[in-house]
Amino acid sequence: MLNRQGALAAYTQNHAAVNSPEKLIEMLYEGLLKFTTLAKRAIEEKDYEAKVKWINKSTDIFIELINSLKDDGSQMTAYLTGLYLHQIKSLSEANIKNSTKELDTIIHVVKTLLVTWREETGLAKKKERELEVA
């Protein structure tokens, strides 16, 4: 498994420079959606080597998200830590069982987190403005 710096580098190496911590978290959520969807496809296609690769990348991102949380003792930090750890457990179960059910749940959870993150940080409004300009 990659260490914290390795996990971050693995995802961001092919992306533009990160302008803010908010953007980094958004990119990590987007990476989770991508890699978890690829793991699901690999299970469906019985490509177990690819499945392990994508599940490991998703696990690394959840670890990075846990490491990015402020250790402030808040309920939100405790909630997100527990949520992320549960997702890692679900990834392990999907890997062992070759099951897409767990991956579908993770995808749903991460989509919800991504939408909420964008709304709370103002990234959703920024994307809307970018679309208006385009």
94-112 pLDDT, tens digit per residue, is: 999 999 999 999 999 999 9
Say which DSSP state 17 is in: P
| Cα(79)–Cα(85) distance, integer angstroms | 10
pTM for the model: 0.81
Tokens of 88: 């890692």
44-53 pLDDT, tens digit per residue, is: 999 999 999 9
DSSP the chain: ---HHHHHHHHHTTSPPP--HHHHHHHHHHHHHHHHHHHHHHHHTT-HHHHHHHHHHHHHHHHHHHHHS--S--HHHHHHHHHHHHHHHHHHHHHHHT-SHHHHHHHHHHHHHHHHHHHHHTHHHHHHHHHHH-
Query: Which has more confidence, 3 or 25?
Result: 25
What integer pLDDT is reported at residue 20 of this predicted model?
Answer: 86
Q: pLDDT band for position 1 (50/70/90)?
A: very low
Establish how many alpha carbons lie within 13 A of residue 83's alpha carbon, considering only the half-sphere containing its beta carbon.
Answer: 15
| Cα(54)–Cα(126) distance, integer angstroms | 30
Q: What is the CA radius of gyration of the chain?
A: 15
